[in-house]
Amino acid sequence: MMKVWNDFEKKVFDSLYILYGSEEFLIEKTKDLLVQNVLQEDELDFNLTVVDLDESPVETAIEQMDEFPFMGEKRVVILKNAYFLTAAERKRDKIVHDIERLIAYLENPAPFTIAVFIVPYPKLDVRKKVTKLLVKNATVFEAKPMQDRELMSWISNHAKEINVLIDSKAIELLLYMTGGNLQTITSELEKVALHVGAGERITTDIIDRLVVKSLDQNVFALVDKIVHNQRQRAVEMVHDLLVQKEEPIRILAAIARQYRIFAQVKYLCSLGIGAPEIAAKLKISPYPVKLAMQQIGQFSEKELLKKLDQLAEMDFQMKTGYGDKEMLLELFILQG
């Protein structure tokens, strides 16, 4: 059975929870919301226990789970890193867990305790008796990476929670600039919200100005300058990246990736395929696809393939020590 965060607000709690998956930010968010809805702030010191199973045996947690709550109705015991519920092989495992004792507890869990098993791993191993029993009796929350549409909805909702407005295009740009990383999205959105102030609107200009750019985003802007024949500004941008200690080979690879996206988008557009479908096929955010669609009119397919050949040759020259790396980058930009 799957629950979402808001279900905790109904004040109906199960005795056992499993929070697992590769999106650790969602796991932490869900765990925090559960604790907030179960315990009052003045109960946290007495009725909340966190046991790291990388450092302590599961018996330590079971002892806590069997204790009555102190001046409250419920205890919450968080069991971090419950990797024994997976098929993961971990060299650092040094703790021996009494799984049979845990199985006995799961068959008759304490009614006053909420046990939360946290497993930062993509899959549970339901072939194991302990996992099968826990999955059968627990509420299970899978924290898997969201798709772009889900992330866009999440950004919109979180903006409302922190009392700011955000344009749909600004959401797309934020998603692109953060690479879809939920932790980064949250921290950057909250930083921008603090800058604009409560009740204000976040636009693409504000996102572009305040959100930290990755190498790919800087190179996208650089290529945009090349496309629009602003070559001297493009050279200056290369120099800025070099001052930031970016390696010329990495810059070249990012430029090649951008031209590869141009070539792929141009070909797929010629087949009548729309931006969302192209993004799905290329496994990238819709935002760079939409921007690429605005730029590919500058090139024929033949010209794009020629660019990719030039970039491949430059990559070979850089890696074999032929010519000055910075000069090769400038030459590509100035030759167009």
Residue 5 has pLDDT above 90, yes or no: no
Helix (H, G, I), strand (E, B) or coil at 256: helix
In sign, the C-alpha dihedral spanning 284, 189, 17, 62 is: positive
Question: Mean pLDDT, to the nearest integer, of 214-238?
Answer: 85
Residue 7 has pLDDT above 60, yes or no: no
Question: Mean pLDDT, to the nearest integer, of 308-335?
Answer: 88
Helix (H, G, I), strand (E, B) or coil at 14: coil
Q: Are strands 48-52 and 75-80 parallel, antiparallel or unpaired?
A: parallel
Q: What is the pLDDT of residue 93?
A: 66
Q: What pLDDT, in 10s, does the model give residues 120-137? A: 999 999 999 999 999 999
Residue 268 has pLDDT above 70, yes or no: yes
**Range scoring the smallest mean pLDDT among 16-20, 58-62, 147-151:** 147-151
Question: Mean pLDDT, to the nearest integer, of 280-305?
Answer: 84
Per the model's pLDDT, the better-predicted residue between 124 and 281 turns out to be 124
Question: Mean pLDDT, to the nearest integer, of 324-329?
Answer: 88
CA gap 52, 54 in Å, rounded: 5
Question: Mean pLDDT, to the nearest integer, of 11-31?
Answer: 90
The token pair that represents 188 in the structure block = 């950057």
**pLDDT bracket for residue 3 (50, 70, 90):** very low
Highest average pLDDT, of 9-18, 230-239, 287-296, comes from: 230-239
DSSP string, 99-119: HHHHHHHHHS--TTEEEEEEE
Q: What is the pLDDT of residue 335?
A: 78
CB 79 within 8 A of CB 106: no
Q: What is the pLDDT of residue 110?
A: 95
**Range scoring the smallest mean pLDDT among 6-10, 183-187, 296-300, 314-318:** 6-10
Angle between helices 248-270 and 231-243 (to 10 degrees): 130
Q: What pLDDT, in 10s, does the model give residues 154-201? A: 999 999 999 999 999 899 889 888 877 888 899 999 999 999 999 999
**pLDDT bracket for residue 218 (50, 70, 90):** confident
**pLDDT bracket for residue 9 (50, 70, 90):** low
Closest among 294, 309, 215, 297 to 260, alpha carbons compared: 309
> What is the reported pTM?
0.68
The token pair that represents 140 in the structure block = 């299970």
Q: What pLDDT, in 10s, does the model give residues 40-70? A: 999 999 999 999 999 999 999 999 999 999 9
**Range scoring the smallest mean pLDDT among 2-11, 118-127, 139-148, 322-331:** 2-11
Q: In what order do the strands lie in the sheet with 139-142?
A: 48-52, 75-80, 113-119, 16-20, 139-142
Alpha helices in the chain (DSSP H): 24-38, 44-47, 58-65, 99-107, 129-137, 148-161, 168-178, 182-196, 204-210, 215-227, 231-243, 248-270, 275-282, 286-295, 301-319, 325-335
* Share above pLDDT 70 across residues of the chain, in percent, rounded to a whole number: 96
